[in-house]
Amino acid sequence: MLLGGKDKPDPAFLEAVVRASGQKTLAHCYQCGKCTAGCPTTFAMDYKPNRIIRMLQLGRKEEVLGSRTIWVCAACFTCSTRCPCNIDVAQVMDSLRVIARREGKTGLGRGVVLFNDLFLLSVRRNGRVFETGLALSFNLRRKTFFRDAELGRFMFTRGKLRFTPDRPKGVRELARLFAKAEEKVEE
Amino acid sequence: MRIGYYPGCSLQSSAREYDLATRLVTRYLGVQLVDIPDWNCCGASAAHSTDPFLAVALPARNLILASEMGLDVTVPCAACYHRLRVAQRELTHDRDLSEKVAEVLGRPYRGTVRIYSLLETMTGIGLEQLAAQIVRPLKGLRVACYYGCLLVRPPGIGCDDPENPESMDRLVETTKAETVSWGYKNECCGGALIFGAREVALRLVRDILRNATGAGAHAIVCACPLCQSNLDLRQGQVNKMFGTNFAVPVFYFPQLLGLAMGLNPRDLGLTTHFVDPQRALRVVGG
């Protein structure tokens, strides 16, 4: 099935992923399946982790970047801990998320990407994550206005919700880090 | 002992009881925590899933601040601990990257800071010394020590054994509570997915709660604000989604230690949990 897909093989993609994830090679994967056996979120994946590695070996860029797998990976590093070929599978997944974002292929990861964007926006503005603001803006943007309303009420009564962000002085330094990151993406 | 303290964002709000208990118990044990002044967010999974430069540069600033104080750092949050450790590795191995970070921040990182998880710092006090402080043994309480993922993985970054960690069990046993042997002690709670892919994360939480109670635990003990928030604050959501009726209290390990040391439960933040720990504590006359 992997040989007959509609996706045209792109060998340069494998090279790009190997480089971005800091791996020596992905060629040594012999499909033992340990990464998949230990993965806690395979039930929600379209392609299991070992198949993603195989698809990368075959240069199947579109299918990999378009998969749901990369967005439901919990980044728990069980796969990386157990791989007999020392492939840091979790790091590969991370690099795939970064590449998918840069190429605007985040269709199946919309919720995760929105959360990550709002999280970083909060860090950029405040230096530290303002949890209350983050949760509210996420719900606003997803139009799920009352999600967690009950939980929010409970947290409020226990003093676990802040109403104002805590802005350390270093926010200005962080602005420079964020600007540099944007510059690097454009390079 | 004096050590730098990097609380992380959650400990200022959703996990403030972890901060309370940590400060109280360490002070009681003679460990002086020195807050890193002006610390910033480590970037967590949002940064490493989005931008490899930010993923290292954000934690790097905190390492620079700590090194300027001349102190090592202890970190209560498993996710922050992981990001600080990864950043240190990257800065040591990637000179290009470390130069870029130094250039933007206007000061270099000399790589001198040792980063410890709070669990390591507490274990480092010595189990006998801790046991000597126990005035209110928690005999009869059976707990499942939950390590989660980023505290112990990947090897070389996490502390303890990545497949069968035991340091928290040893620490908790000084309180005379019994620790259960269970299979999900280092499974992931889905912390990074709780907003973006909630149905996935809640299933992971359900499996952990089920395994802990199945092993006979009255309570879970953890060492991470994301784990605690998923397991405790969202237990009601799990029950609703899966038709279960879990009521398992989830302690932070310094809370349990503090309780056994005779400290005031309110001061340890035990009144802020979603699942009231009082019922579980009744087995020890609490």
Residues A133 and A154 in one domain: yes
Residues A16 and A98 in one domain: yes
Best CA proximity match to B72, nearest among B142, B161, B170, B3: B3
What distance in Å separates the CA atoms of residue A106 and residue A114, rounded to the nearest whole number?
10
Q: Is residue A24 part of a domain?
A: yes
- Among B13, B39, B42, B189, the strongest candidate for a mutation testing the A interface, having the largest count of A CBs within 10 A, is B13
pLDDT for position A5: 59
Residue B103 distance to chain A (closest CA, Å) = 10
At CA B95, angle to CA B89 and CA B100, rounded to 5? 105
Whether A1 has a pLDDT exceeding 80, the answer reads no
Chain B residues inside the 8 Å CB shell of A109: 196
Instruction: Inform me whether the C-beta atom of residue A176 falls under 8 Å from chain B C-beta atoms.
Output: yes
Beta pairing, strands B73-75 & B115-117: parallel
Residues A171 and A114 in one domain: yes
Residues A50 and A121 in one domain: no
What distance in Å separates the CA atoms of residue B46 and residue B50, rounded to the nearest whole number?
6
What's the rounded mean pLDDT across residues A50-61?
Answer: 97
End-to-end CA, chain A: 37
What distance in Å separates the CA atoms of residue B227 and residue B252, rounded to the nearest whole number?
10
Residue B100 distance to chain A (closest CA, Å) = 9
What's the rounded mean pLDDT across residues A30-59?
Answer: 98
Structural domain count of chain A: 2
Enumerate domains of chain B plus CATH numbers.
2-118 (1.20.1050.140), 134-262 (3.40.50.11810)
Token pair, residue B86, equals 């990864």
> Which of A105, A122, A145 is a domain's end point?
A105
pLDDT for position B182: 98
Q: Is residue A5 part of a domain?
A: no
Beta pairing, strands B2-5 & B178-179: unpaired
Interface touch B58/A101, C-beta < 8 Å? no
A88: how many CB neighbours lie within 10 A of its CB? Answer: 18
Domain containing residue A35: 11-105
Instruction: Inform me whether the C-beta atom of residue A37 falls under 8 Å from chain B C-beta atoms.
Output: no
Residues A99 and A122 in one domain: no
Whole-complex ipTM: 0.95
Computed over every residue of chain A, the mean pLDDT equals 93
Q: Which residue has the tokens 């149905």?
A: B199
Q: Is residue A6 part of a domain?
A: no
Q: Is residue A80 part of a domain?
A: yes
Interface touch A151/B233, C-beta < 8 Å? yes
Instruction: Inform me whether the C-beta atom of residue B64 falls under 8 Å from chain A C-beta atoms.
Output: no
Q: Which residues of chain B have pLDDT under 50?
A: none
| Banded pLDDT at A11 (limits 50, 70, 90) | confident
Whether A183 has a pLDDT exceeding 80, the answer reads yes
What distance in Å separates the CA atoms of residue B25 and residue B42, rounded to the nearest whole number?
25
Residues A54 and A125 in one domain: no
Which residue from B minimizes the CA distance to A93? B49
What distance in Å separates the CA atoms of residue A31 and residue A28, rounded to the nearest whole number?
9
Q: Is residue A75 part of a domain?
A: yes
Q: Is residue A71 part of a domain?
A: yes
pLDDT for position A72: 98
Q: Is the previous residue joined to B154 through a cis bond, with omega within 30 degrees of 0? A: yes
Residue A4 distance to chain B (closest CA, Å) = 31
Interface touch B13/A40, C-beta < 8 Å? no
What distance in Å separates the CA atoms of residue A58 and residue B238, rounded to the nearest whole number?
40
What distance in Å separates the CA atoms of residue B127 and residue B76, rounded to the nearest whole number?
19
Q: Is the previous residue joined to B76 through a cis bond, with omega within 30 degrees of 0? A: no
Interface touch A127/B201, C-beta < 8 Å? no
pLDDT above 70 as % of chain A: 95
Give the DSSP letter of residue A108.
Answer: G
Token pair, residue B43, equals 């970037």
pLDDT for position A187: 63
Q: Is residue A2 part of a domain?
A: no
DSSP β-bridge partners for residue B251: B221
Interface touch A150/B236, C-beta < 8 Å? yes
pLDDT for position B140: 95
Interface touch A151/B12, C-beta < 8 Å? no
Residue A1 distance to chain B (closest CA, Å) = 27
Contact call for residues B67 and B104 (beta carbons, < 8 A) = no
Residues A91 and A15 in one domain: yes
Residue A92 distance to chain B (closest CA, Å) = 11
Residues A24 and A97 in one domain: yes
Instruction: Inform me whether the C-beta atom of residue B187 falls under 8 Å from chain A C-beta atoms.
Output: yes
Residues A65 and A131 in one domain: no
Residues A114 and A175 in one domain: yes
pLDDT for position A9: 85
Q: Over the stretch A158-177, which tens digit does the pLDDT of each residue have?
A: 999 999 998 888 888 999 99
Phi-psi category of B160—alpha, beta or left, where left has phi over 0 and alpha has psi -120 to 50? left
Q: Is residue A142 part of a domain?
A: yes
What distance in Å separates the CA atoms of residue A150 and residue A136, rounded to the nearest whole number?
13
Instruction: Inform me whether the C-beta atom of residue B285 falls under 8 Å from chain A C-beta atoms.
Output: no
Residues A26 and A49 in one domain: yes
pLDDT for position A6: 63
At CA B273, angle to CA B271 and CA B283, rounded to 5? 75
> Which of A105, A128, A153 is a domain's end point?
A105
Contacts of B90 (CB under 8 A, 6+ apart): B56, B97, B98
Contact call for residues A39 and A82 (beta carbons, < 8 A) = no
> Which of A78, A105, A132 is a domain's end point?
A105
Interface touch A159/B233, C-beta < 8 Å? no
Residues A15 and A100 in one domain: yes
Least CB–CB distance from A98: residue in B45, B50, B272: B50
| Banded pLDDT at A3 (limits 50, 70, 90) | low
